[in-house]
Structure 1
Amino acid sequence: MEKFTKENKLNYALILSGFLHLIFIILIIVNSSRFKLNKGSQGDKDNVIDAIIVDPSAMTEKYQPQKNQGAESKLVLERQKKEAQQQSEVLSKKQNEEQQRLKILEEERLQAQENEKQEIIKRKRQMEESHQRLVDQQKQIDAAIKKAQEEQKQVKLAAAKAKVEAKRIRSEIEKKAQAEQKRKKAAAAAKKKSQNTTKNIDQLFDALASPQNTPKIQTTERGKKGSDTEIKSYLNQIIHAIQSKFYDASLYKGKTCHLRIKLAPDGKLISIREESGDTDLCQAAVAAAKQAHIPKPPNKDVYQVFKNASLVFTP
């Protein structure tokens, strides 16, 4: 709307300037015509004067008004010329003012165009900066989301590792507890085995000292028993061999079985039978003894003791 108003003002100024120039030209033409008309009339009168001979004094009196009229015409012409010049100066001044005004309007129009151009550039730059800020913000949001996802992934991995580690530690604790329990059971079993071994040895010595076994002991090649250490050691080997094939010992806790065994010189089991005690335990012990590998006696004296001996078995 502002641009349209400025263009209307410019058109109006151009029209006004042209109209004033037209008036100025018309005035100049009119004044010039009057001047020629007056000059022509005066020439005709001079011709008449030349053709007629008159009294000079009378002619002076007669043509004095005409002379005055010519002076007045000259004054009028000068006045008109002066007025025309003044009008021309006024018109020129107005024209200059109009040109100056038009120049100012043109400068204002150009300045407005430049301002509008700069405003468009400014808005475009602001839009580009705003767009870039949005792009940067989106990048920051994407980076934050990616970082959060990575942290969540790391947390899940850490939780999984912690779960595995906790499971491993719990398994180790359970294994250690089981191992400790087995160790305690083994220690208790070893202690009990040692006690049973001692008891078996004592019983074996008692049996060997009885009248039934005395002739068998005396029939050795040297005619004497083996040492107590050798007998105890070999008895432990026999019991250990039987226990190595004996399973589910906890089922027979607190039970006892008396067995009669017969061995060959190389330690091979010739026979084994139940003499007394818990029947189930004795059956399991006989089965274990038949599967066991009993070592060879260290010497003939020890063999003479165990070739037909009685022992007490407690798991």
Structure 2
Amino acid sequence: MAATTELPESFAPVLASKRRRPLRSRAYKWFRFLALLLVVLLLLAPLAWMVLASFKTNVDIYDAAKALIFTPTTDNYANVLQRNNYFAFILNSFWVAFASTTLSLLLGVPAAYAMSRFTMQRSALVVLMARIIPGVSLLVPWYYVFSNLQMVGGYGVLILSHMFVALPLIVYIMMSYFDSLPLELEEAAQVDGLSPIGAFLRITLPLSIPGIMTAGILSFIFSWNNFMFALVLSGASTKTLPVAIFDFVSYASIDWGGLMAAATVVTIPIMVIALFTQKYVVSGLTAGATKG
């Protein structure tokens, strides 16, 4: 018969702890799953209610018994997209967001590169001050100045006002990204005969594409969702989507069905952009967290 060996009593706690580890790991996985599920439900519940309400009449929206079971209707979307000409507002929002983001990138990326390479901390602090100042405190001076210049109601004033927030955001994102790029690459390019500007255009700029995409996407989302600047500075022909949604709110009543349909039209493009570009946003934001 084979000899049986008995483990010392000192090994008993170690074996017991190993048996408990799978139980603890399984409990942790369930806890994490339930916590994530709760967070997702809390975040998606308002969006789900908005989409469902966009297919209801105002009477059904106020009826709690028809929260999930109701007869859907597309009249709200017909009212938004056809009778109220929301396609023009969509084009206005897209043009203002695209123009303000493009101009901010053209100005902000070289500025961020200069501040990063020449350690211009005071200039960076001034840019940060523009980010800290509440935009509502500037609306009255802006309206006074731009009205005297006869620019209120045009695209130019909307683009400039959106650049006031987009430009500091781009500068700070790109500063941290340029700080993470090794300076030796540019020095090697200059040894090979490139000028400092040539090294920036041919070496540094292509390597900073993820950061540029991150800054551009975030700036575009801000401009698309902006309501306050467009409410004061836009005109009847340059009205953007967030301002157009406000037309469903009157003094006596609120057209909840039309309001939810218009809100869905505003939200869907941004959600699609966020879903398809999230990996670029995450990579761009995390790339500047480490140096070298």
TM-score, normalised via structure 1 length = 0.21
TM-score, normalised via structure 2 length = 0.22
* More strand per residue: 1
- Pair member with larger Rg: 1
Q: Of the two structures, which has the highest relative contact order with CA contacts closer than 8 Å and spacing of 6 or more?
A: 2
